[in-house]
Chain A
Amino acid sequence: DTEVTQTPKHLVMGMTNKKSLKCEQHMGHRAMYWYKQKAKKPPELMFVYSYEKLSINESVPSRFSPECPNSSLLNLHLHALQPEDSALYLCASKLAGTGELFFGEGSRLTVL
């Protein structure tokens, strides 16, 4: 199993809503990532979890709240988002000690 699974694939939310994006991998990877990607741009790193601990936060606004409940799951909790937060949110995982990053297919978020 070499998949990173993200749900939901599409999400539309208002600026006052609270929603969550979910990511799951069963490859035994102990590093998990959240990226944000705008159209025609490269992915931008948001958060890195290493062994279920937050190791990198790229100065992301607090309206984005990551959570790593266990080594297979990664959540991104969303609250009071702005229309400019509309983007493709990508989860990725990496086997410790390697450089190979595996991406999920992403969750397309639209904030109205």
Chain B
Amino acid sequence: QQQVKQSPQSLIVQKGGISIINCAYENTAFDYFPWYQQFPGKGPALLIAIRPDVSEKKEGRFTISFNKSAKQFSLHIMDSQPGDSATYFCAATLYNQGGKLIFGQGTELSVKP
């Protein structure tokens, strides 16, 4: 019940295309869903996050879509750039508690010029 399932494991997109990464969770108590971006040799950096009271959040080229009834959320990267090539992790947790951040398994994104 604590799992977050992420797909695909790897993704290759042409420059200018749309990258889509999907996650599904089981625990309906989760109320905070962040996405982290990690470049090789670096720590994960918070990219964008959503609470379940909204269905979509957009920040620049990055959009989270959230479907509470399906217990699914996804990251869309519009106009993907080679600099977006990184590993992306979705996660879920309880917002105001000091508990665990449950990570998905990660998606390795490669954007080809």
Judge whether A100 and B34 touch: CB under 8 Å. yes
Partner of A40 from the list B32, B95, B103, B106 (CB cut-off 8 Å) is: B106
- Residues of chain A within 8 A (CB-CB) of B89 are 42-43
Question: In the complex, how many residue pairs between chain A and chain B have their CB atoms under 8 Å apart?
Answer: 60
- Residues of chain A within 8 A (CB-CB) of B7 are none
Partner of B45 from the list A40, A56, A103, A108 (CB cut-off 8 Å) is: A103
Interface size grouping (class) on chain A: 20 to 34
Judge whether A55 and B44 touch: CB under 8 Å. no
Enumerate chain B interface residues (CB-CB to A < 8 A).
32, 34, 36, 41-46, 49, 87, 89, 93-96, 98-101, 103-106, 108
User: What are 9 A-B contacts defined by CB distance under 8 Å?
Assistant: A55-B98, A56-B98, A99-B94, A99-B95, A99-B101, A101-B46, A103-B44, A103-B45, A104-B43
